[in-house]
Structure 1
Amino acid sequence: MTSAQKAIKKVFLDSDVFTACLHHCLTSEKEEVLGLLIGKVDEASFCHVLASIVMHRSDKQPDRVEISAPQLCIATAYADKLSVVLGESVRVIGWYHSHPHITVWPSHVDVNTQFTYQMLDSFVGLIFAVYQNDPGSAGNTVQLTCFQSVEDPTHPGRVVRKDIELQIVNKPMKLFNLKAIVDLPTILSQEETHPERPDQADVNDPLTFLFNEALETLTLVHIASRVAMPLLEGLEARLQSAKARLAELERSLPPSRPPPQ
């Protein structure tokens, strides 16, 4: 298939997937984060994003992220499980990553990465620009863009971005997308465990040992205070809102009639 055959006309992003991705992108103000998108592409070349999966960062960088082959295999296996849950075939159809404190537009590295994965199958990219200080607003703003990559007809061998229309579809929170949000603190904590780091028992210098312990504790406290607690407060607020809505619907129901004698 050619790249033209893989062109996506429009992307429909379920609102609970948007929420999960945004929560993930807001967890780091210094480094970019990465995840993959799962869904389907219909016969009209419309892309439907139904779920997401967070990718572990083996190397934290402020200005780039990469998708490794093992991560893609993990996401593919997850898509197979979701196909059983949903009763329809879904697959990895894209990726998302964050741009903290920088423009929402993809870099040349992002455009080339996108083009590489389009060679495999239909694939889209989402970028969340977070922690944007807009002088015209009261606080930080979030921007979102959706794109694919195409060959530049005026410069052979060069690829450029092509903006794709994006629509967020209001959907109830699905259990697996809620779990993606709830699992964020655990995943971030796991990223702090570096295989190459020496065992603390082998550290002879007591000051080095103390520094390593303090740094790990500080990082975990940061995850708990900046990620876990806001997530918990947000989910509790969502629960209270749902309970209030349920009570309102119950009050609007007509009174039940006694059964006939």
Structure 2
Amino acid sequence: MAVTAVHLDSDAFMVCLAHALSTEREEVMGLLMGETCTYGCVFISVIQYMLYIFILNCYYRLAHELQRPIRVLGWYHSHPHITVWPSHVDVRTQAMYQMLDEGFIGLIFSVFNEEKNTKSNRVQLCCFQSINQSPEGEAPQYLKLEIPVHVVQTHTLGKACLQSLVELPHILSQEEEESYGKTLTIDNLDLLTKIHNSAVYTKSLCRIMDVMSGPLIQTLEAQLERNKTKIIQLQNEKESLLQKLNRKSRSPHSPSKVTSV
């Protein structure tokens, strides 16, 4: 049974897009967590990398916190500098996931595609599943089935999505550290190569700070200031309403209490 529609919360969409825009040299991939309903899937959180123990920890923690049947329902990956449509490898990968869960869906974020006329970058989103078009008994031949996706506005940044967003620079730094660590185990490297590898590692960390950590800190600080301003506005409104209630209660036209004997 194919999924009829996918509803993606805007804060989860933002985390996926931030991950997709973290690099234009290679594709990134992660999993989507959410719950099923009668009209499709509602995704409420994301995790950035496919580590089994980490997925289980996120799954149990999120399901416990929200008291809702949260589970892994999809995967997403990026297509930097290429079309948004899934390749034959993507379609086969999606088909394997659907063997485990027929409601599993795939999201593709096409990023770093420049419009020729406006010279501006265009971001595209595709949601799909795989269907087998081969007759029964023959080798499967999978085709993509595009699924309507609706980005649902959320007025606040959910705790789970905020945690994923904050962890993203750490995950990217950890990947660079692991890659650099592998070079340290290679024997008979000359000094110039070691210096080069160290410089590349340092450059990668600086890029993560410049592209991810810096803008993320600025965004969160701006959101904090907006929240503080909103709190002050609400406190002033509260005080104004309390003063109006007090004036009304002291007004001679206010109804007096009747005591029965």
With structure 2 as the length reference, what TM-score do the two structures score? 0.83
Quote the residue 2:111 is aligned against: 130
Mapped to 2, the partners of 1:137 and 1:41 lie a distance apart of 40
Mapped to 2, the partners of 1:249 and 1:137 lie a distance apart of 42
Quote the residue 2:22 is aligned against: 27
Quote the residue 1:14 is aligned against: 9
Deviates more, 1:132-141 or 1:92-101: 132-141
Once superposed, what is the RMSD of the aligned Cα atoms? 2.4
1:12-91 maps to which residues of 2 (within 5 A)?
A: 12-42=7-37, 44-55=38-49, 71-72=51-52, 74-91=54-71
Whether contact under 8 Å (1:12, 1:49) holds in the other structure is yes
What are structure 1's unaligned runs of at least 5 residues?
A: 56-66
Mapped to 1, the partners of 2:142 and 2:201 lie a distance apart of 42
**Which structure: larger Rg?**
2
User: What is the identity percentage for the equivalent residue pairs of Structure 1 and Structure 2?
Assistant: 39
> Residue 238 of structure 1: CA displacement?
2.5
Q: Is 1:173 equivalent to 2:157 in the alignment?
A: yes
Mapped to 1, the partners of 2:218 and 2:119 lie a distance apart of 22
* Partner SS for 1:255: helix
> Residue 240 of structure 1: CA displacement?
2.8
Structure number with the higher helix fraction is 2
The one-character-per-residue Cα deviations of 1:28-72 (angstroms, maximum 9, x if unpaired) are 011000010001112x251010111011xxxxxxxxxxx6xxx34
> Residue 250 of structure 1: CA displacement?
4.5
What are structure 2's unaligned runs of at least 5 residues?
A: 251-261
1:1-261 maps to which residues of 2 (within 5 A)?
A: 4=1, 7-42=2-37, 44-55=38-49, 71-72=51-52, 74-121=54-101, 122-137=103-118, 139-152=120-133, 157-171=140-154, 172-192=156-176, 193-194=178-179, 196-199=182-185, 205-253=190-238, 254-257=240-243, 258=246
With structure 1 as the length reference, what TM-score do the two structures score? 0.83
* Partner SS for 2:242: coil
* Partner SS for 2:241: coil
Mapped to 2, the partners of 1:115 and 1:204 lie a distance apart of 43
Specify the code of the residue in structure 1 equivalent to 2:242: S
Specify the code of the residue in structure 2 equivalent to 1:178: L
> Residue 207 of structure 1: CA displacement?
1.8
Mapped to 1, the partners of 2:190 and 2:79 lie a distance apart of 39
* Partner SS for 1:99: strand
Quote the residue 1:63 is aligned against: none
Whether contact under 8 Å (2:183, 2:197) holds in the other structure is no
Deviates more, 1:247-256 or 1:146-155: 247-256
Quote the residue 2:254 is aligned against: none
Whether contact under 8 Å (1:76, 1:92) holds in the other structure is no
CA distance 1:212–1:88, change in 2 (3 Å): same
* Larger relative contact order, structure 1 or 2 (CA cutoff 8 Å, min sep 6): 1
Aligned length, in residue pairs: 240
> Residue 152 of structure 1: CA displacement?
1.8
> Residue 160 of structure 1: CA displacement?
0.6
Mapped to 1, the partners of 2:92 and 2:149 lie a distance apart of 21
CA distance 1:115–1:15, change in 2 (3 Å): same
Mapped to 2, the partners of 1:243 and 1:180 lie a distance apart of 23
Mapped to 1, the partners of 2:104 and 2:230 lie a distance apart of 38
